[in-house]
Amino acid sequence: MRHLLSTADLSRADAVGLLDTAEAMAATQQREIKKLPTLRGRTVVNLFYEDSTRTRISFEAAAKRLSADVINFAAKGSSVSKGESLKDTAATLQAMGADAVVIRHPASGAPHRLATAGWTAGAVLNAGDGTHEHPTQALLDAFTLRRTLHGHLPGGGAREGSDLTGARVAVVGDVVHSRVARSNVHLLHTLGAHVTLVAPPTLLPVGVGAWPCATSFDLDAVLPEVDAVMMLRVQAERMNAAFFPSEREYSRRYGLDARRLRALPDHAVVMHPGPMNRGLEISADAADSPRAVILEQVTNGVAVRMAALYLLLTGDDEGVVA
């Protein structure tokens, strides 16, 4: 891999390889000394044009635990607010010797433009672009789900080479504004899972029929059949119209509460990419239940991003992660 821009670009071998490498990284995080020398001398730039807490911190922690030098760049308060273009910003970073650029941008396609325009020689990692994709979030979701289904090794690790064949996952809520949903549909399908998108018609994107998944408007009918239910944040800040009658109505039809939690199979888990709107798409009962693996998703995000940085910057050199 040269860049990580979209889960649609990943073959099954690429995806499983990333998850296996993340398992190796996760094992190193159980040690007293968590830091590895793998990326010593390399520079990773976190280039964030949108506010972010967990993704930026997760990438920063991942890079630092691989001993990389990290530069955090937030558009707010920088020359971007004075009109500097992405091209000029990228040229500045290139002049500073960035080996990898982790970019979050409100415009769909900005990471692809950065990776293909020749503005930087470094690897480009998409940390979320517009309503398009968020590939490392999908990878950490798949990593968490694989551990849930196949985590039989010491420390909860999954068997090397395993995928998600036969797993059934419901992705529920604001699909039309969700880059997480798009990345998950592609990746989970590649790994052999069956995905059902559950949402009101107004929150499903045009052309969803061509996606490799099923769709439903009835959450109660879907829940008893799934291994995992992934609740999506209602992205009110992206809505320029009334997509549902009221928050109460949305919660009644598509929110995960204690009653719907009981409808899940005994082994099924609850996932959410965060941040959560408690009382809207998910109740406190569901968010704080033993079935919820939401904090595990956050923990696993560091290992997955370590794996992505490692594979992009060093290839698969044997013996580096030991």
Q: Is 159 a catalytic residue?
A: no
The amino acid sitting at 41 is G
Cβ density class 207-239: b for 16+ within 10 Å, e for less: ebeebebebeeebeebbeebbbbbbbbbbeeee
Rounded to whole angstroms, the Cα distance separating 62 from 126 reads 15
Q: Which of 148, 90, 170, 164 is nearest to 124 (CA)?
A: 90
The amino acid sitting at 297 is Q
Q: Is 55 a catalytic residue?
A: yes
Catalytic-labelled residue, pool 38, 55, 120, 144: 55
Q: Is 136 a catalytic residue?
A: no
Instruction: Please check whether residue 27 is in contact with residue 156, taking contact to mean a CB–CB distance below 8 angstroms.
Output: no
Q: Which of 94, 102, 40 is nearest to 65 (CA)?
A: 40
Rounded to whole angstroms, the Cα distance separating 79 from 90 reads 12
Rounded to whole angstroms, the Cα distance separating 253 from 72 reads 41
Catalytic-labelled residue, pool 3, 65, 134, 168: 134
Catalytic-labelled residue, pool 3, 42, 56, 104: 104
DSSP H helical segments within 107-196, as ranges?
110-116, 135-150, 179-190
For residue 147, give every residue at least 6 positions away whose Cβ sits within 8 Å of its Cβ, in sequence order, or none. Answer: 156, 157, 158, 296, 300
Rounded to whole angstroms, the Cα distance separating 199 from 214 reads 11
The amino acid sitting at 211 is W
Catalytic-labelled residue, pool 2, 31, 53, 82: 82
Q: Is 7 a catalytic residue?
A: no
Catalytic-labelled residue, pool 54, 112, 238, 291: 54
Place of tokens 């996932």: 271
- In the chain, how long is the greatest CA-to-CA distance? 56
Q: Is 104 a catalytic residue?
A: yes
Q: What are the catalytic residues?
A: 54-55, 82, 104, 134
